[in-house]
Each structure stands twice: as C-alpha cells, then as structure tokens.
Chains A and B, each alone.
Chain A
Amino acid sequence: MNNKNMYIMLLVLTTIITGMTIAVSIMKTAGTEESLFNGPAIVFVLVAYVAIQVLCIVNIRGSLTVYRIGFYVLHCGLILMLCGMFIYYIKGDKVENVSVPVSEDTYSRIQRASTDIDISDEMNNDASDDDSGNSRDSSDSRDSSDSIGGNSEAKYVELDFALGVSSFEVEKYEDGSDKFYDAKLKLVKRGVADPIYETFRVNHPVRVNGWKIYLMNYEETPSGKVVYIMLKNNPGEYITLAGIWMTIIGGFIMCLLRKRGAK
C-alpha cells in the first residue's frame, strides 16, 4: 500500500471517530447517556489504527536518521499502547462503586454492580495458603466455588486478600467543599497474620496482588462514614505505560530534534 492510500485510510478512521464523538456529544447534550464507545465498533477502529501503524513502519524507506529513530519509537509506542488496551479489554477486570464502611473489619468478597461489600464474608486469615495473585468470580455468593472467571454476569469477585478501611479523615474549605481527604486501607494477605496499613488517597491508588485499589469518594451516613472504592486488575498496564512513554519520546525526537526547515 502506498503512502497516499494509507493517509486516506487514516482520514477515514478519523472521520469515523469524529462522527462517533459528535454523535455522543449530541446525545449527551440531549440528555441521553448512551455511549457508542463501549461496543465492538471501537475495537474494530482501534485494530485498524494498529494495522495502519504497522503498514507505516513497513513502508518507510531511507537512511537511519534521528528523525527515523523518532518515527520508529513513536509508531511502535502507539502499537504497544493500543495492545496494552486490548489486553485490558480481554483480560482485565474492574469493580466499581464499592462502598466500604469505615471500621476494623476486612472483606475478601466484593459485590459487583452494587454499592455494598458482602459484610457477612469476612476473611479468615488462616483459610488458605494459596497466594497466586488471581481472583475468582462467582455467579452466586453462596456457592462461589462452582464458577471461575470470565463470567460477565458474575455478582461477586473473590480476592486472595482481604481489605477494609480502618480510618478516614476529611478536611474541608469554609464553604463545605472538600479540600483533602485520606483513608487508611487495611490489608490482610493470606497466610500473613498481621494486617498491613496503607495510606489511601485520591490520585494515589494502592497496589495489592495485581489489583489497584482506588479511593473514589465518601459519604457520611447516620451509621458512620462510608468510603467508595474501585478495584481494577489491568494485566496490560505496563505495556500501555511503555507505549505512552515511547509515543511521547518519539514525538519529541521526530518533531523537535529534526533539522531546521526540514520537512
């Protein structure tokens, strides 16, 4: 494929993305919450973008200049970044909007698509020696051993550690809006008797056994404070990060280290 056709393909894909963006913007303005970016269409577009990057790399000719090194770094970075995203799309997991009451209790079974942790399922620290770092989904909280992974309908995620929020502090501005808040995350790993306490803040997720735990929000209820957290398992994270840094560095090499007036 020659460069001209490749650039036209790039234009077509960009037109699709732009069209989707405009459509979503119009829908949002109209008050509809639907997003076009969750379905397989966007995966197809991203695969096509990767294909164009590969074609670009194959097609480039000429001697190895600083510009060309930048070109390789940037385009390989884009490919890595998109591959990392695909890995997350296929193998990643996320549990959102989990409410945890502030107490010394810890929990290892996290309920999906709901706002509560199953409080009845406190972790027994001596329960198992299994420390593989994997989690299990169960379709029903009462017979969790029957169902393992890959079930999007699963209601619970079973962690190989237990977590809880032991304390929570909030600082406010005069008008009552939040200035700063942090929490103490209590973690109990299998086979380890003593709990670990980690400071837990917005913008500072805590990593445990392949999971990243995020402090998202909090609520003050009559029965006490409740902290909202999110758990995410992204096996493609480091690939995505490597791609991001390569894209940035490649962009600077290509565009700012080129010769003056060079095209």
Chain B
Amino acid sequence: MNNTVCLVIEITSIIMYLLSATLMVAKKNVQTHGTGKKAQENNKEIHGTEKNSEKLSNTIWQIAVILNGVIVVNNWLVNGYVPFVSMYQVLTFLALTFAPIYIFMKYMRDGAWMKRYFAIASAFCMTGVCFMSGRGVWHFPPALQSVWFVPHILAYMIAYSLVVVAFIITVISFLKKKFGTQSTKKDKETKSHREVMDETVQKADLGVYNLMVAAFPFMTTGMLFGAIWADAVWGDFWSFDAKENWSLVTWLMVIIYLHFRREEDLKKYAKIFVVLAFVGVLVTMIFVNMMGGSSSHTYSM
C-alpha cells in the first residue's frame, strides 16, 4: 500500500472511532418518569432506539478496529518484523491495543461502560499517527534483534493504553463533577440528579482504579523486561538514560496513585497522579525523542 492509501485508511479509522464514541454518548439514558402506559411505551421506544444505536456503534467500532488492523498488518508485511521500531509503527499498534484491553476490562472488571473512552483513546492515537512520517520500510538494527523486543514493547503498549483511558475518564468525570451539577441546582429534581452524578463519579473512580491496577503489572513487566534486555545489549540493567528515567517516573506515579488510593486521608489527591502518569507517558513516548542528547533509545525518532 502506498502512503496515500495508508493515510486515507488512517483518517477513515479516526472518523469511525469518533463516530462510534459519539453514538455511545448519544445513547445516554433519558428515561421518562412516571408509571402510566404512555410513559412505559416511551421508555420501551427509547430502549429500542438505544439498542439500535449501540449495535450501530459496535459495528462502526469494529470497522475502525479492522482498518487500524490493516495498517498494522501492512506495516508488519512491508517491514518483515513486528512493527514496533518507529514512532509511527508504535502509535498505530497502540491505537489497536485498546480493543482487546476493552474486552478484558468488559468481562473481567465490569467495564462495559468504558467503551467510548477506549474509542476516544484510539482516535487520539490515530490522530497522532496521521502527523507522523515514517510510513514504509524501516530498518531493523542489530540492537533490536532480541527476544525481549516484542514482550518489552507489548507490555508497555498495554500499560500505556490503560493509563491513557484512565486519564480520559478522570478528566471527563472531573469536568462532569465541576460543571454538571451547577446548572440544575435550583431544579426540583436536583437531588436525584446529584445522586445520579455522584454514582457516575463513583463509578468513574472505581473504573480508573481498575484501569490503573491493570496497568501496573504490565508497566512493571515492560520496564523490567527492558532492564533484562538492556543488560544483554548494553551491559547494564539500568543506565539512567532519559527514556529510562522518565519511564521510572511514570511507574512511580502509578505506584503513588495505587498507594494513595488505599489511604482514606490521601485518597482525594490520588487522581492527580493519574494525570501525572499520563504526562509521564507523553514525555517518555514522545518528548524524550525530541529532546535529542544522548539517549540510547533513539531507534524510534
């Protein structure tokens, strides 16, 4: 596939991801109160519309995932190795990682409601992909020809995707909490609205916790597999390279979140560390490469 075809597929998948997320938001429950026949019919109708909307959203999401997968497979075939070398390849794969992780969260951690956030995260990554050069053949340098190459990066991809979704949910629930309750203060239904809002915030809080808990072992694995690999290739488990240091900082942010979340007095500050962990992910993945200097991780520039 040439670059233009790739770009068209990437843009289409972004649109599909966003459309799917939008349809999931649109199906938000707007049930009619009351016990009358008309109210029941209305609710039934709304329920039916919601189901159709969900089906459509699922289909669109699946198409987006397939398109994203086509790009990943193309990268794989063109290069002849698992496409984790350039930032373009990594981001394309990262966007695809959200789908299986969502499935894990849905079945293992009651996370079906998180689907739209996963779709937004995929769209976010694919948008980055569109601005990147590096489509086509990338050479596979001898230092990357290791058994640790795939597990190290795959573990990081999983961890980073979980942190990105946790960040999106944190920000959206914060915005909802901040601006969602003010408009209905004087409303008669304020109390019930507030209760619903509190429930939503609590659900988001638990969701973020579940995501961060799932992210931690993968981030640890990614980092420590990297250390074992570094010992084999550079002769040091840890050489305090810029990328290594920033990945350590990100890992520490996740650790502090998990610890603060357990302590009642510190719980309220925990979410700050979700945001900081996301900042850490951005710096580790993107900004360290832009810094120049003498990072050993310069293959992804």
B-binding residues in A (CB < 8 A): 3-4, 7-8, 10-11, 14, 17-18, 20-21, 24-25, 28-29, 31, 33, 35, 37-38, 42, 85, 94, 96, 173, 175, 177-181, 201-205, 212, 214, 230, 232, 237, 240-241, 244, 247-248, 251-252, 254-256, 258, 260-261, 263
Contacts and interface: CB of A to CB of B under 8 A. Distances in A.
Contacts of B213: 255, 258
Contact of B235 (A14, A33, A214, A251): A214
A261 B265 CA distance: 21
B110 A7 contact: no
A25 B139 CA distance: 28
Contact of B291 (A17, A18, A25, A205): A25
A20 B252 CA distance: 14
A3 B262 CA distance: 9
B174 interface: no
A71 to B, nearest CB: 12
A255 B262 contact: no
Nearest to B261: A263
Nearest to B144: A203
A255 B217 contact: yes
Contact of B214 (A7, A14, A255): A255
Contacts of B228: 241, 244
A145 B263 CA distance: 60
Interface stretch (B68-76, B112-120, B237-245): B237-245
Given A21-B245, A212-B235, A248-B220, A263 B262 contact: yes
B252 A18 contact: yes
B139 A173 contact: yes
Contacts of B259: 7, 10
B30 interface: no
A147 to B, nearest CB: 25
A204 B235 CA distance: 10
Contacts of A202: 142-143, 145, 233
A248 B224 contact: yes
A33 B294 contact: yes
B252 A260 contact: no
B294 A21 contact: no
B142 A178 contact: yes
A252 B108 CA distance: 14
Interface in B263-296: 263, 265-266, 288, 291-295
B216 interface: yes
Size category of the B interface is: 35 or more
27 contacts: A3-B262, A8-B266, A14-B252, A17-B252, A21-B248, A21-B249, A24-B242, A28-B294, A35-B240, A96-B235, A177-B139, A177-B141, A180-B145, A181-B142, A202-B143, A203-B145, A203-B229, A204-B232, A212-B235, A214-B233, A237-B231, A244-B224, A247-B220, A247-B224, A252-B221, A256-B214, A261-B110
A14 B252 CA distance: 7
Nearest to A29: B291
B256 interface: yes
A204 B266 CA distance: 46
B216 A255 contact: yes
A29 B293 contact: yes
Q: Which of B142, B225, B248, B266 has the most CB of A within 10 A?
A: B142
A256 B143 CA distance: 32
Contact of A260 (B109, B229, B231, B237): B109
Q: Which of B209, B238, B259 has the most CB of A within 10 A?
A: B259
Contacts of B14: none
B171 interface: no
B183 to A, nearest CB: 32
A18 B242 CA distance: 11
Contacts of A175: 139
Q: Which of B206, B231, B238, B253 has the most CB of A within 10 A?
A: B231
